[in-house]
Amino acid sequence: MSTTEAPSRSRGARRLTAGFLAQLFGRDHHAELDLPMAVMIPIVSAMLADGVVEEEELFQIDAVCAFSPIFERNTSYENELLILRATRLIEDHGFAKMCEHAAAVLSPALRETTFAYAVKVIFSDGRYGEVEQAVLRDIRDALRIAPERAEVIIDVIAVMRRTAEA
């Protein structure tokens, strides 16, 4: 082997690396969702709702990760990877399928918490039009939250987002 050639990896090492990357980036659809990923999927779905990722939405997700006990053991880097993996899962398998899969992992109480986080992300860019309302209805339905209960959550978060001019 010359000094400019990279050493070849064994077939097993390549398979191990490919498996790690597939899991990291969400290509392993057979993998079970853990609790942080199950919470993150609807949050990222809210971010992707209007097709534009706004800086305010990313700030809101960072705040959720920083202050939620669900993510307290994660580093910032781990949370960034979680967001990237959730994005990939949604892109590869679809919003509805992934949110339903997330709902299966979450308790009823955590489904409500997750919905509240998604609402905060939806509201964070200052737009709450028909597209955002439809996405929240879809997230609500996927998380199996009663419409009346979802409206209470939305109303409370709307109150919390009032400006000084209100």
Q: With b meaning 16 or more CB within 10 Å and e meaning fewer, what string describes 23-34?
A: eeebbeeeeebe
Q: How far apart are CA 47 and CA 43, in angstroms?
A: 7
pTM of the model: 0.80
Domain that holds residue 144: 32-160
Residue 11 lies in a domain: no
Cβ atoms of 89 and 26 closer than 8 Å: yes
Computed over every residue of the chain, the mean pLDDT equals 84
Cβ atoms of 47 and 57 closer than 8 Å: yes
Neighbours of 136 (CB within 10 A): 23
One-letter identity of residue 19: G
Residues 78-82 have a mean pLDDT of 94
Residue 78 lies in a domain: yes
pLDDT tens profile 9-62: 444 444 444 444 455 544 544 457 899 999 999 999 999 988 888 899 999 999
| Cβ-based neighbours of 124, under 8 Å, separated by 6 or more | 54, 56, 57, 59, 60
Which percentage of the chain shows pLDDT scores above 90?
A: 63
Residue 143 lies in a domain: yes
Residue 102 lies in a domain: yes
Residue 50 lies in a domain: yes
Which of 90, 77, 92 has the alpha carbon at shortest distance from 46? 90
- Here the CATH number for the domain that contains residue 91 is 1.10.3680.10
**104 alpha carbon, distance to own chain's centre:** 15
Token representation of residue 80: 């960034």
Residue 3 lies in a domain: no
Residue 13 lies in a domain: no
Cβ atoms of 33 and 41 closer than 8 Å: yes
The predicted pLDDT at position 16 comes to 45
Residue 27 lies in a domain: no
The predicted pLDDT at position 129 comes to 81
Q: How far apart are CA 54 and CA 30, in angstroms?
A: 31
The predicted pLDDT at position 2 comes to 46
Tally of structural domains, the chain: 1
